[in-house]
Amino acid sequence: MPLAGWLVSRWGSRPVTACSSLCFGAALALPAFATSQATLSAALLVMGLAAGAMDVSMNSHAIAVERIWGRPLVSGFHAFFSIGGIAGAALGGVVAAARIAPRAHFLIGAIAAEAITLATAPGLLPGSVDAVGPDHRKLRISRGLIGLAALAFSFFLVEGAMADWSALYLGSATGAGAGTSAAGYAVFSAAMTIGRLSGDVLRRRFGPALLIRGGSAVASAGMAIALALPHPAPAIFGFLLVGAGCSIVVPIVFAAAGALGRPASGAALAFVTMSGYAGLFAGPPSIGFAAQWTSLRAALGIVLALAASGFWLASSARVENERYPLSR
């Protein structure tokens, strides 16, 4: 991610996005050819390198598109990430049911990814849009950027906790069956997608700081409901609210980081994205350790506290007076 941020600043986000996407598409096939733990680890290392570079460069390009278009767009782009995750899970289920071999499955996926990248890359903005000179490539770590990194850490952790612990919480704390337990993360993901599809309109109307506070309030209220009422229906409803509240925060944080770090937007995004992934990696194991010492219900109080952190950190998103006109 730091290397991708430097490359975006040097060459612009277009070539880095195109190259990293092509590399990721090719790397997608590698795990299917692994013959040992060592070769599988090597394949996943290559995938991770490509994914990290692609994450930073795509978000940098999205911010450049948003800036030129003159209206919020990043939340909608993140919505398609969520839609892609749902579609990928559904297609994976179909492939598994059809007993298609992993090697054929991964190869088809890699070919499809390469074809989509080659078809769409020519439509990206030129690299000159966000490439900067050598005097502007060094990132200044400001108080606002640290606040945005803390927001990314907190809300990535919340998302990771929902992915790893929501089903187990429903099963162990509410007595829900396997099918009902799976519904917790399903409604969380659906609410995330719907929230991100509407996030750009809300950001135009209310501005980033107020929207982060509102999302934080909704997410923390949802987590409080799920923990205070350990029964399947209210807990699932609580997880739905967590998804709706979280949905709008991370896209706003990324957009604010790109604006705050300008002209070194790529480096700023790399810094904030790395902070977010640190929360994604550290969060679920930390909750597991805390649950071992107390209970899962008590440990998920960490998620409640971090979801509420948006109240105090939202001012970091006040990068500029972001009151977009409702029509252009």
pLDDT tens-digit readout, 147-194: 999 999 999 999 999 988 998 999 888 888 877 888 888 899 999 999
Longest dimension (CA), the chain: 60
pLDDT at 43: 96
CB 275 within 8 A of CB 154: no
Residues 6+ apart with CB under 8 A from 253: 148, 151, 152, 155, 212, 272, 276, 317
Q: Could you name the CATH architecture of 142-317?
A: Up-down Bundle (1.20)
pLDDT at 245: 95
CB 307 within 8 A of CB 158: yes
pLDDT at 324: 44
pLDDT at 325: 40
pLDDT surpasses 90 at 93: no
Confidence of residue 323 (pLDDT cuts 50, 70, 90): very low
Q: How far apart are CA 297 and CA 225, in angstroms?
A: 12
pLDDT surpasses 90 at 2: no
Residues 6+ apart with CB under 8 A from 276: 149, 152, 153, 155, 156, 250, 253
Distances in Å between the alpha carbon of 190 and those of 22, 183, 196, 245? Answer: 29, 10, 10, 12
pLDDT tens-digit readout, 264-289: 778 888 899 999 999 988 888 899 99
pLDDT tens-digit readout, 95-117: 888 889 989 999 999 999 999 99
Confidence of residue 291 (pLDDT cuts 50, 70, 90): very high
pLDDT tens-digit readout, 66-75: 989 888 999 9
Could you state, in order of their start, the residue ranges of all structural domains in the chain? 2-121, 142-317
pLDDT at 241: 96
pLDDT tens-digit readout, 235-248: 999 999 999 999 99
Comparing 207 with 216, which gets the higher pLDDT? Answer: 216
Confidence of residue 137 (pLDDT cuts 50, 70, 90): low
CB 239 within 8 A of CB 184: yes
pLDDT surpasses 50 at 125: yes
pLDDT tens-digit readout, 297-306: 999 999 999 9
Q: How far apart are CA 244 and CA 247, in angstroms?
A: 5
Confidence of residue 318 (pLDDT cuts 50, 70, 90): low
CB 315 within 8 A of CB 209: yes
Distances in Å between the alpha carbon of 51 and those of 47, 208, 310? Answer: 6, 27, 27
The pair of structure tokens assigned to 174 is 């509410």
pLDDT surpasses 70 at 234: yes
